[in-house]
Each structure stands twice: as C-alpha cells, then as structure tokens.
Structure 1
Amino acid sequence: MLSTLPQGTDLDTTQIRLAIRGLHPQLIHWRRQLHQFPELGFQERLTADLIHRTLQDLGIEHQTEVAKTGIVALIDSGRPGPVLAIRADMDALPVTEESEVSYRSQHLGIMHACGHDGHTAIALGTAQYLAQHRDSFRGQVKIIFQPAEEGPGGAKPMIEQGALDNPRVDGIVGLHLWNNLPLGTVGVCAGPLMAAVETFSCTILGRGGHGAMPHQTVDSIVVAAQVVTALQTIVARNINPLEAAVVTVGELQAGSALNVIADTARMRGTVRYFDPKFQHYFAPRLETMIKGICEAQGASYEFHYHHLYPPVINDPGMADLIRSVALAVLETPAGLVPDCRTMGGEDMAFFLQEVPGCYFFLGSANPRQGLDYPHHHPRFNFDEAALPIGVEMFVRCVEQFSAGWPA
C-alpha cells in the first residue's frame, strides 16, 4: 500500500499525452465496433474474441474463458515491483437502441447503454500503451476484462477462478464513464462510492371474490397497498437520518378485472445502502412488517430476499492515488469532483473486498452535442473525447503505483 505519493515522475508528461492522443482513432474504432455488436452477460463471445485477437497482435500474455467469457491479460515490465490490476466490464443491456448513429447496435433488443464498450476500449488502449512502453513502470499490470456486470455478476466468479492470483494483485483500479458529470472531470472519494444492491419479492395471498361483496374476501390489493406504505417507514423511521438507504417497490401486479377482488398481489423491489453494517438488517425487517400486516388482514405471504452486490468502498490510500493522477491529467483542481456518490450498484465491490483499490467516475457528458442522456436510456451515448482521458488516467496510475513501491 502506498504510504506517500511520489511528487515527481521519470516520464515526460507531454510525450505520454501525445502518445495516448495518437491512440484516439483506434480507441474510437474499438469502441464503435463493440457498440455495434453488444452482448449480454456471460454471452460476450464476439467481444471476447475481439479482445483476444487484439491482445495477441500486441504480444500480450492473456488467459481466456475466465468465468465463461472473461479475459485476464498480464503485462510484465521485466523489473521487480508491485502488481496493479485494471478492471473493465464488457457486457451490454437488454435495451433497444433508439440512437441514429452510424454505429448503432446491430443486435435487436441489446445495447451498450451504460458505456461498457468505452470501458473495454479504454482498457485495450491502456494495454497497447503499456505493452509498447514497458520501461515506463515496474512490476506487472493485470487487465481484467469482466463479463456480466449488469447481471448476474461476473466479478465474483472471476475472483473464484483466480483472476487476482498468479501473480497476486497488490491493488486494483477501475473507472465508469459517467454522464452525470461533464467531459473533463473525474469523480472520486474515499470510502463508499456506490451502494449495496439487494432485491426482494413478495406475493400476498388473499381470497378473491366479487368486487361488490368485499366481506367475503381478503383483498390482496388492499393488503399490498398497506405493505408498500409500511415499507417506506423502514428508512424514514428506523434508519438514522444521517445515514443513506433506500427501499423501493418497483413492481406491483394484481387483478385482472375491475369488478373482481384479486386473490394474489405480487411485488418486487430493491434495497440500497452504503454502510456494510446493514447487510443483515433489511431482510428480517421487511419480512417482519409484511408478516404483521398479513396476519392483521387475514392474508398469508411468500417472501424472498437476495443479496446481489455489496457496497463499492474505496481504499483511502488508493483514492489519494486517483486524486493525484486526476490533478495531473486534468490540470485543474476544478475538474476533481469529490461529492459523487450514487445509490447505483456495481460488482466492482467484490474486487475491492479482496485488495485495496479505487473505483472512480470519468465525466463523459457533452450537452452541446446531445451526448448527455442518462445511463440505461435507449439514446445513451457519450463524448468519445473521454476515451484518451481514461487511458491517460490508467497509465499514470500504473506509473505512480509502481513508483511508490515499496511503500
């Protein structure tokens, strides 16, 4: 772990930037090729093949089929030093693209609506630069191309299959192109950056009947309505107001006719929080409320709860590294955004539980060009000028991480 950050560098800033800017056309080519042929989680065969062929052409050692479609590349400087991992996710979403760009998705109903095509292109550009400048750093760099971030989650199986071992990783970094921030900014903070992701489903079992004879029924919709309202009090009245948490019921389905009281109502929702202490809190609290309401109304229920991703928690020392790098890359303190936390989730969290690391946001929005639609929107797109900035961020992370070894 870095105890202090180096104040100087052996590499010329201008030369690094010019070399990376020279990669910009190639970065755009990779990104647009990936954008045209998006693939869902654990189905990224074409994506993995492009990465594999590119790494082969660059002479970079790599392992394929890690967690089905994942790839782990290793770039060795030939000199002793630490091992830094760079993680990039590569899956798309089940979204039908509405953009009219020339490189729009050719796979109906699937789209890179979250920027993972850009993440992969940035990682490939970083790999190319480092492979061609092995004398610019010490130790080794692992680049982890991860499947299935959008679901069901590829980080954990990659870890289980040794992505962080042989050689063992000392630190890890990753970025997310972020349309909530303008181009030319970096969002980073120590501690929690993104929330835990947990989901629940509940079926209320009542007794159906005629809409004009409610006394003969147990109205599942009425019971479900009370449940939805009561669940909102968990955060409002059970959680310290200085701590962040969310309970959202996103689906509620019941009934088939206006004059029929439904015998079942089904709901699904999500829970989000930053503090790991809540990991075992919400599931029993939700069920206690649901059980009490159902018993009071004469209904029964079925309840299921799933823990998907833990919160994304950045190591303070690695967050300092990213801040230092961002100030060098952006050349102005105004581009550094410290207040950037979000209740969105990410399975980068599993990597950060294993080794010290930092996940950060790279501003990618450009409203003047209409490149500011939100993530997961069918017209999502980002300013491709962010791609070389991402490469430079990673290259300088490698430079400073290896320069600070040993701590």
Structure 2
Amino acid sequence: MISSFPQSPSVNLSQIRLEIRALQSRLVAWRRQLHQQPELGFQEHKTAAFIAQELQQMGIDYQTGIAKTGIVATIKSPFPGPVLAIRADIDALPIQEENEVTYRSQHDGIMHACGHDGHTAIALGTAYYLWHHRTNFKGTIKILFQPAEESPGGAKPMIAEGVLKNPDVDAIIGLHLWNVLPLGTVGVRSGAIMAAVECFELNLFGKGGHGAMPHQTVDSVVLSAQIINALQTIVSRNINPIDSAVVTIGKLQAGTALNVIADKAFMSGTVRYFKPELEGYFGKRIEEIVAGICQGYGAKYELDYWHLYPPVINEEKMANLVHSVALDVVETPVGIVPNCQNMGGEDMSFFLQEVPGCYFFLGSANVDKGLAYPHHHPRFDFDETVLSMGVEMFIRCVEKFCC
C-alpha cells in the first residue's frame, strides 16, 4: 500500500452543490454495477449497453458503435456557444480481483483496477446534471465514452470516425481518479503531464552449446546482459539530464538448462519520455546499440519497435481553467498538486493533439479506509466520495468554458 502522500486536506463537501451531492448514491450504484461487469478493450459490449440504457432513460441523444464499443452523448444548450468534449474511458484490465467486497468483479481474470468504472460513473452523472440544467451553459457538450484505453487504444479510432466533428469540438477535458493522491486533491499543470509510450521486442540469435565449452558458442545470455546494460546509457549519456526519460526491460527469456549455453534470447521493454521532439530518437538509438553489440559477438537479431501513445500535453489556457475550478472545489493551497507529472501513458494524448484541452488527476485514495492500493493492483479500490467531486469539477469546467 502507499505509505506517504502529499499533505492531505480536509475534504469540504460543502463545495459540492446539493444537487450533485444528491446524485452520490446513484453514482455509487453506477460505479459498482460497472465494477462487477468489467470488460477488456474493444470487448465492452455490456458496458456500452449499460451506458446507452442510462442515457436513453435520461433522454439524452447518443450514438453507439463508434470504434466498435464507443459511445458519444450530445447535450445541447438552447443558447449557441462553443463545443466542449468530456472524455471517459470504459475498459478494464486482465487482473484477478482480490478485494472482498459485495461489488467485486464477476468476471474471472478481469477487473476495473484503474478507476475507469469511476470515470464512466462520473461522466454519466455529468450528463445527467447537464441535461437537467441546459440553460446554465451555452453551446454543446459531447461526452466521449472511449473503449480500450489500456490497450490497444480507442482514442485514435474514435477520432478517425469523427467524434471531434459535427459539431467541431473547440476543446476537451478529462480526468483520472488517482490513488497516488489523497481524496480532496487535484493534480493539474500545463504542458506534459504524462509520458509518451513506445515499446519494443528483441529476438537475439547466437550459437548454443555445452556450458563447459563456451568457446564453441555465441552466448545469447551474455549478449542479452551486454545489451541491457548498454541500453541504460541512452538515458544516462545520450539524453539531456534536464529531460526525463526511461528505458525499461520488462521481460527476458533465455535458456533451457543450467549446463546449456542458450542459442536464443528474447527481451521486451518500454520507453517513456515527455518531450515530443524525442519521438523517433529512441528506436533509432536502440537499434544502433543492438546492431553494434551483435556484430561484435557474431550474433544476429530481429527488432520490432513501435509507438503506442504520444505524451499527454495540456494546453495552458485549458489547464488554467481547470486550475481555477479546482480552487473553488478543493481546500487550498494543499489541495492543488502541480507536481503531478508521471511516466504513465494515456491515449487521451491523441485527443489533445487534435484540440486544446486538459487532462487532470483527482485524488481518490483514503489510507484510513484501506483504499490506497496502487493502480493495476488486484486490490485497487478508491474512496467513492470522489465521484461527486468529479462531477462537480466537470460541471464547473463546463460552466466556465461555455459561458
């Protein structure tokens, strides 16, 4: 469990308007229903059906089947004005839940371990409130229920299918419930807030043989060790120390017996960075290092390198808007956390490449209740008080942007 946080503010629920606090029980019911029926990326058929059913009961216009399982809800004010999009991801993870709660996952090996069930509930609550208060803002709100954020990414295909058009979206916001921060805090900053994600797989081909006769072989295990050590010099010796970057080898496989020198090895890993200018650099540098070492050892290789998500970069004006809203919702100054950058990846980045916007973190951990396990942990859960706080944040952003 997380043992330390930034200073935790006292949660002042009086900042959440009464009509939103009255939605809390419905928000919790939505979230728990979704939590019990988690589905993986592009397989969120029951989730999409549930969202559509709730939107239909509210009387809100929506489209289904976008990027397979995505949904777009549209709420129009009677007054002309800008178009603001709100994004919520809906997919779960391939994790077996270990929580002993009444709403635990009913699907073996699948779990909402990253808060997407909460994101969806918050988006539904936001839609409900906006629909019943359409005269409180001008223009149009498009709520994007996006599939497959965890993998392989649903934002890009949703954009390709026109979710930012007809009417054209002027700006976009989104939030992530964040167990790295305590309940009652908001993490928001302009510029890069989450990292680019790139991935690679490397197959190495040496020459196997007897463990007692290494001179007759090309040892793929030693080769792997040399490559792993050398790849770490990309960040330590090729990247400006002022710029943050990470090269991680997450998987390594080689060998079949203790007295056999392996002829083949496999490794895979990930690269993370904030600066868009670094796109294309790591793949090229990794191949240069691998090729050089393999040539020196007399080995061959196959490298597969691909870009998953670009960095999540908040536009300054939209980040300032979210920051100003947070000042009204959480206790200040400790409730605002500007130093919230992390090397996680998010395909919200694709939306932010198309239109200005802001992606922010909403603290959701509560150590006193035992709700502080990290994201992607089999015992991940969060303080559900955050649901009404999320709705309040979104509603105030709408009212400030669409005024």
Which amino acid letter does the alignment assign opposite residue 294 of structure 2?
A: C
Aligned length: 391
**CA–CA separation in structure 2 for the residues paired with 1:164 and 1:73:** 12
Structure 1 stretches of 4+ moved >4 Å: 13-16
Cα deviation 1:189-224 (Å, max 9, x = unaligned): 000000000001111100001111111110000001
In structure 1, the residue matched to 2:286 is 286
Residue of structure 1 equivalent to 2:135: 135
1:327-366 equivalence runs, <5 A: 327-366=327-366
Match of 2:248, as an amino acid? T
Q: Deviations over 1:219-267 (max 9, x none)?
A: 0000010000000000000001010000000100000100000000100
1:56 aligns with 2:56: yes
User: Are 2:371 and 2:380, in contact at CA under 8 Å, matched by a contact in 1?
Assistant: yes
| Partner amino acid, structure 2, of 1:241 | P
Match of 1:375 in 2: 375
Distance 1:318 1:123 in 2: 19
Change (3 A) 1:93 1:248: same
Alpha-carbon distance in 1 for matches of 2:99, 2:82:
43
Cα distance in 1 for residues equivalent to 2:17 and 2:124: 16
Q: Quote the offset at 1:43 in angstroms.
A: 0.3
- Residue in 2 that maps onto 1:47: 47
| Offset at residue 333 of structure 1 (A) | 2.6
Query: Deviation per CA, 1:351-383, whole angstroms, max 9, x where unpaired?
Result: 000000000000000000000000000000000
The equivalent residue for 2:228 is: 228
- Cα 1:14–1:373 change in 2 (3 A) is closer
Contact 2:186–2:335, Cα closer than 8 Å, also in 1: yes
Partner AA of 1:108 in structure 2: D
AA partner of residue 71 (structure 2): I
In structure 2, C-alpha distance between the alignment counterparts of 1:338 and 1:41, rounded to whole Å: 31
The match for 2:166 is 166
User: 1:68 is matched with which residue?
Assistant: 68
What is the identity, as a one-letter code, of the residue corresponding to 2:176?
H
The residue type paired with residue 183 of structure 2 is L
After TM superposition, the structure 1 = structure 2 runs for residues 249-288 of structure 1, keeping only pairs within 5 Å, are: 249-288=249-288
Q: Distance in 1 between matches of 2:332 and 2:17?
A: 16
Equivalent positions of 1:2-401 (< 5 A) are 17-401=17-401
Instruction: State the one-letter code of the partner of 2:20.
Output: I
Give the secondary structure class of the aligned counterpart of 2:17: helix
Partner of 1:51: helix, strand, or coil?
Answer: helix
Alpha-carbon distance in structure 2 between the residues aligned to 1:97 and 1:58: 32
Per-residue deviation, 1:331: 4.2
Partner secondary structure for residue 202 of structure 2? strand
Any idea what the Cα deviations from partners look like across 1:161-202, whole Å, max 9, x if unmatched? Answer: 001110000000000000000000000000000000000111
> Cα RMSD (Å) of the superposition?
1.0
Change (3 A) 1:25 1:355: same
- Deviation for aligned residue 1:329: 1.1
What stretches of structure 2 of length at least 5 have no aligned partner? 1-12
Give 1:293 shift.
Answer: 0.4
Separation (CA, whole Å) in 2 of partners of 1:121 and 1:57: 15
Question: Could you give the per-residue CA deviations for residues 116-159 of structure 1, whole angstroms, max 9, x where no partner exists?
Answer: 00000000000000001101100010000000000000000000
Q: What amino acid does structure 2 have at the position aligned with 1:202?
A: L
CA distance in 1, matches of 2:48, 2:139: 26
Residue 38 of structure 1 aligns to a residue whose secondary structure is coil
Is the 2:16–2:388 Cα contact (8 Å) retained in structure 1?
Answer: no
Q: Deviations over 1:275-318 (max 9, x none)?
A: 00010100010000000000001111000101000000000000
Amino acid at match of 1:233: T
Q: Distance in 1 between matches of 2:262 and 2:15?
A: 69
User: 3-state SS of the aligned residue for 1:286?
Assistant: helix
Q: Distance in 2 between matches of 1:17 and 1:124?
A: 17
Where 2:342 maps in the other structure, the secondary structure is coil
Cα distance in 1, alignment partners of residues 213 and 16 from structure 2 = 77
Give me the whole-angstrom Cα distance separating, in 2, the residues matched to 1:91 and 1:282.
Answer: 29
Displacement of 1:330 in angstroms is: 1.2
d(CA) in 2 for partners of 1:140, 1:357: 16
Gaps of 5+ in 1: 1-12
- Structure 1: which amino acid aligns with 2:81? G
Alpha-carbon separation, structure 2, partners of 1:234 and 1:189:
28
**Other structure's SS at 2:232 match:** helix
Distance, in Å, in 2 between the alignment partners of 1:327 and 1:49 is 36
Q: What is the CA–CA distance in structure 2 between the aligned matches of 1:167 and 1:101, rounded to whole Å?
A: 42
Alpha-carbon separation, structure 2, partners of 1:242 and 1:152: 31
The one-letter amino acid paired with 2:385 is A
TM-score scaled to structure 2, two decimals? 0.96
CA distance in 2, matches of 1:231, 1:15: 50
**Partner of 1:325: helix, strand, or coil?**
helix
Is residue 184–residue 331 contact of structure 2 (8 Å, CA) maintained in 1? no
Distance 1:194 1:41 in 2: 21
Q: Secondary structure at the match of 1:46?
A: helix
